[in-house]
Structures are given as C-alpha cells and as structure tokens.
C-alpha cells in the first residue's frame, strides 16, 4: 500500500513484482481496504487508478485497516475460535487437555474432521502468548494455559486515545484501543491531518526502539532522485516531526561521526543491531550541532551561514517579540532601538528558514545572509506578490 499510495499507483508495466496477476491481486487488496477512496479516470495512456480522500472529512485514519488485516487458512481460523471457546471459562488447561477437548467436543461429529497435532497447537498457543491473548504457567513439567483477563477500563482516556490515534506517529496503537470502546458521535476535526504517516509505523517503531535501547540500526534507504537503494549503518539520535508538512526525519550519525538525516517515508526497512557502548559521545556531538540546526540539515561542511534580520516592532506589539522568542529554533534576539529587534543566527542551511522568514514580510527592515540565494528568493517573493496585487 505504501508503494502505491506514496509513489502513485503503478501501471502493469511499471509494477516490478512477479506478474500482472500479482498487480491485480495487490490492487484488489487495496480496494478492499479503502473501498470508496479508490478512484480511476480514463486517459490516453489507459486507466489511471488513484486514491482520493479529504483529510478534513476523514477523522478516522482509513489506512490503519491494513494493520488489522491478516491472511489465514481454514485451519487457522477454525483453531482460533476453538481455542478461545475452550479457554472462555477462565480455567487453566494443559496441552493434552486442550487436544482432547478439540477432538471430543468440536471435531467428533464431522465425517472428515480437521486434524490438529500437538506441534501445531503448541505453536498457536506460543503465538497467542506473545500477542498477550493467552498466559501460561508451569507446574512441575506441565505447562498450563489460560486466557488473559481484560480488567483494564480505558473509557476515562477515550478523548486522549481518540486524539492520539490520529496525531501520533504510532497512532495505530490508539486505533486498536478505540476498537475496544463503543463508537460515539465524532467530535474531532483536523486542519492538518497527515494520515499517510500510518505507513511508516513499523519503521518508526524500530527507530524509537533503537534510540531507547541505544542500538545501531541498519537501514535501507531509497534515493528520492534516482530511486537507487542504499544501505547504511547508523547511530539513531532523534526523530524529527514536521508540524508544517507532516514529514518525519531520522537524525543520525554514521559510524565515523558524520551526522545525517533521512526522510522516513523513503526508508524501506530497518534492522536493529548491537548496543553502542559510546552512545553518549554521539549524543553530545548532536547536542552541539543542534545549536546551528534550523531544520534537518545537520552537516554541511565546516562553515555556518550567518543571517541577520531587523524586524520592526511598534509600541504595544510585544507579542511579536514573544513570537520571535517562541519560534526561533536557534540564534538570539536583541533590541536595536525603540522599534527594531534583530534576530541573528549561524546555521548549517539558511534555505530552511525561508518559510519562517516569509511570515515577517512587511516587518523586515533589513536582511543580510551569507547565502545570497535566501535574500534573492525573498526579493523575488515580494516582487511576485506586488505584481499579484498590482502594486507595481
């Protein structure tokens, strides 16, 4: 689904899996998850299939459905319900007792009953223990199994869970919890609803584990330009979340100390490696560098780009100064005169600041920057805006 949704639906010719039949199977599977959101239009090149949804209208992320699906055989689903039915009384059962109950109470009357051996049942019970559905204990040489009692009342946290499920990078966890509660009339709306982050959940979970456990990560990353795959061994340091564009980035260091950033939606896979003994030294280096990071560029040679902006602040406009203090990610603010405040910073990439600087157009008295592209871009923006409003 990520391949189709993030990079656009592929034609049969572009699909690089096994066969055209695989293409149809994957497309139909996506349609079964997203239903009404899958659209198509006819073009000269053929049928163009795409997904269309209004982020402000869809207050429940529909992409979580992919996590809640599971393929199974007829034996899988039969054994699933039999086990849960036997254990529903809350008592402990041994493996042999479970097998006896299955044969005598559930399969006895069938002309051609399914056969479940001890190995199959043991594997299924082990899987359910890992999922937290079943618990086990040992008595002598015997292992006893019992269904886990769900005594947790999460109703008091429904508002927090509702918000978490749509706004957090691991929101699918909240979505699973919501499934346990009664559905109520929707009471949330989102101005910026970044539903596509759902596809990065498994990648992000491993990255967060790597940071928490201080482990090396092996990541496979796809280039945005030429689609070439590359593999990296990195030390994970921070996960950056953009509140403006919804993109997520991994800030990390390679094993030689060079800091790097990767866009999460271009990371194809992550594997946890060994624990890093000198993790603190990598973290200290990051903490020194973050003083000169505006966005995610964290290593652009040894030279910083110096920038100075003089901003007009009239009497009674203290909120502008407070906003400067609140929004600046690095640098400093000083008062030049009664109506002027100067913001100065030394950053790795001043281009990352352009969007923020634009919000002060109309108040900027003077701007100086080592990177002439920044000043030229702002001048271009002002000229374009003037032409748009027929000022020039």
For the chain, how are helix, strand and coil distributed in percent, rounded to 5?
Answer: 40, 25, 35
* C-alpha span between 37 and 47 (Å, rounded): 16
User: 131-155: per-residue pLDDT in tens?
Assistant: 889 999 998 888 999 999 877 788 8
* C-alpha span between 325 and 161 (Å, rounded): 32
Task: Evaluate if residue 45 carries a pLDDT over 70.
Answer: no
User: 143-196: per-residue pLDDT in tens?
Assistant: 999 999 877 788 889 889 999 998 888 999 999 999 888 877 777 877 778 887
Task: Evaluate if residue 8 carries a pLDDT over 60.
Answer: no
Question: In sequence order, what are the beta bridge partners of 251?
Answer: 238, 261
Task: Evaluate if residue 358 carries a pLDDT over 70.
Answer: yes
Instruction: Tell whether the torsion through CA atoms of 137, 139, 141 and 147 is positive or negative.
Output: negative
3-class DSSP state of 324: helix
Phi-psi map region of 218: left, alpha, beta (phi>0 left; psi -120 to 50 alpha): beta
User: Which residue shows structure tokens 């656009």?
Assistant: 8
* C-alpha span between 48 and 381 (Å, rounded): 36
**What domains does the chain contain, in order, with CATH numbers?**
2-52 (no CATH), 74-147 (1.10.10.10), 155-193 (no CATH), 196-292 (2.30.30.520), 305-388 (3.30.70)
CA 3 to chain centre: 15
Confidence of residue 18 (pLDDT cuts 50, 70, 90): low
DSSP state of 75: H
pTM, two decimal places: 0.78
User: 240-272: per-residue pLDDT in tens?
Assistant: 988 777 789 999 999 888 899 999 988 999 999
Q: What is the pLDDT of residue 14?
A: 64
- Residue 67: phi, psi to the nearest 5? -75, -25
* C-alpha span between 212 and 202 (Å, rounded): 15
* C-alpha span between 273 and 254 (Å, rounded): 13
Mean pLDDT of 90-104: 91
The number of residues making up the chain comes to 392
Task: Evaluate if residue 104 carries a pLDDT over 60.
Answer: yes
CA 366 to chain centre: 40
């Amino acid at each position: 689904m990520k391949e189709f949704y993030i990079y656009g639906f592929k034609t049969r010719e572009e699909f690089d899996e096994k066969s055209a039949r695989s293409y149809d199977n994957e497309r139909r599977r996506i349609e079964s998850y997203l239903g009404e959101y899958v659209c198509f239009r006819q073009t000269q090149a053929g049928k163009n299939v795409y997904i269309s949804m209004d982020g402000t209208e869809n207050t429940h992320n529909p992409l979580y459905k992919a996590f809640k699906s599971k393929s199974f055989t007829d034996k899988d689903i039969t054994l699933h319900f039999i086990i849960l039915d036997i254990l529903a009384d809350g008592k402990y059962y041994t493996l042999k007792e479970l097998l006896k109950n299955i044969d005598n109470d559930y399969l006895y009357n069938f002309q051609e009953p399914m056969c479940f051996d001890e190995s199959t049942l043991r594997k299924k019970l082990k899987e359910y223990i890992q999922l937290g559905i079943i618990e086990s204990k040992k008595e002598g040489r015997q292992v006893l199994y019992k269904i886990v009692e769900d005594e947790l009342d999460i109703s008091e946290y429904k508002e927090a869970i509702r918000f978490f499920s749509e706004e957090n990078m691991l929101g699918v966890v909240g979505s699973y919890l919501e499934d346990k509660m009664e559905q109520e009339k929707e009471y949330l709306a989102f101005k910026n609803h970044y539903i596509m982050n759902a596809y990065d959940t498994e990648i992000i979970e491993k990255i967060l584990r790597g940071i928490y456990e201080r482990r090396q990560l092996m990541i496979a990353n796809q280039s945005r330009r030429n689609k070439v795959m590359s593999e990296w061994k990195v030390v994970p340091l921070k996960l950056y979340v953009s509140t403006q564009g919804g993109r997520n980035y991994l800030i990390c260091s390679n094993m030689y100390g060079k800091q790097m950033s990767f866009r999460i939606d271009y990371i194809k896979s992550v594997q946890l490696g060994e624990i890093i003994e000198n993790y603190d030294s990598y973290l200290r280096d990051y903490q020194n560098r973050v003083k000169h990071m505006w966005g995610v560029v964290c290593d652009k040679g040894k030279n910083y780009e110096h920038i100075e902006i003089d901003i007009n602040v009239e009497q009674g406009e203290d909120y502008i100064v407070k906003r400067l203090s609140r929004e600046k990610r690095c640098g400093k603010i000083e008062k030049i005169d009664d109506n002027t405040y100067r913001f100065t910073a030394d950053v790795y990439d001043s281009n990352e600041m352009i969007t923020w600087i634009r919000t002060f157009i109309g108040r900027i008295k003077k701007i100086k920057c080592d990177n002439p592209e920044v000043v030229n871009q702002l001048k271009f923006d002002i000229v374009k805006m003037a032409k748009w409003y027929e000022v020039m």
